[in-house]
């Protein structure tokens, strides 16, 4: 049962344009959502997060939007740069003592120069 879904396995965007990566979840108990960026043969690096009590969080070129009623979040990258090319993972946490993260399957973003 995939609780966190990224339905687009890949996305191609021109440099300078906006990249929009989408993520859907099924468990309404998730209270924290995160985005990670991953290059091949490296560990994921944290990008940005959002608490379930907010609907938007911004950090530089990266903005995450959360729509709780639709159980949907998205990551916007503006403007996109070639160095942004990587796999982006959406993750959700249900809190508690263990704070386990449930990851989506990832979206490969390719930013064309």
Partner 1 sequence: SQTIHQWPATLVQPVGSPLSLECTVEGTSNPNLYWYRQAAGRGLQLLFYSVGIGQISSEVPQNLSASRPQDRQFILSSKKLLLSDSGFYLCAWSTTGLAGARKDFGPGTRLTVT
Residues binding partner 1: number (CB under 8 A): 25
Q: How far is the CB of 1 from partner 1 (least distance, A)?
A: 12
Block residue for tokens 């993520």: 23
Interaction of residue 102 with partner 1, rule CB under 8 A? yes
Q: Between residues 85 and 93, which has the closer beta carbon with respect to partner 1? A: 93
Q: Which residues contact 9 (CB under 8 A, 6 or more apart)?
A: 105, 106, 107, 108
Interaction of residue 1 with partner 1, rule CB under 8 A? no
Distance CA 53, CA 56 (A): 10
Q: How far is the CB of 98 from partner 1 (least distance, A)?
A: 6
CA distances from 23 to 29, 73, 112 (A): 16, 5, 23
Contacting positions for partner 1 (CB under 8 A): 6, 32, 34, 36, 41-46, 49, 89, 91, 93, 95, 97-106
């Amino acid at each position: 049962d995939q609780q966190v879904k990224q339905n687009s396995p890949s996305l191609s965007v021109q440099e300078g344009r906006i990249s929009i990566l989408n993520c859907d979840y099924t468990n309404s108990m998730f209270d924290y959502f995160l985005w990670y960026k991953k290059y091949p043969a490296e560990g994921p690096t944290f990008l940005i997060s959002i608490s379930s009590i907010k609907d938007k969080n911004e950090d530089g070129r990266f903005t995450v939007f959360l729509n709780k009623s639709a159980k949907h979040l998205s990551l916007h990258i503006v403007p996109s740069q070639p160095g942004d090319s990587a796999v982006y993972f959406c993750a959700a946490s249900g809190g508690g003592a263990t704070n386990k993260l449930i990851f989506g399957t990832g979206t490969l973003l390719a930013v064309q120069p």
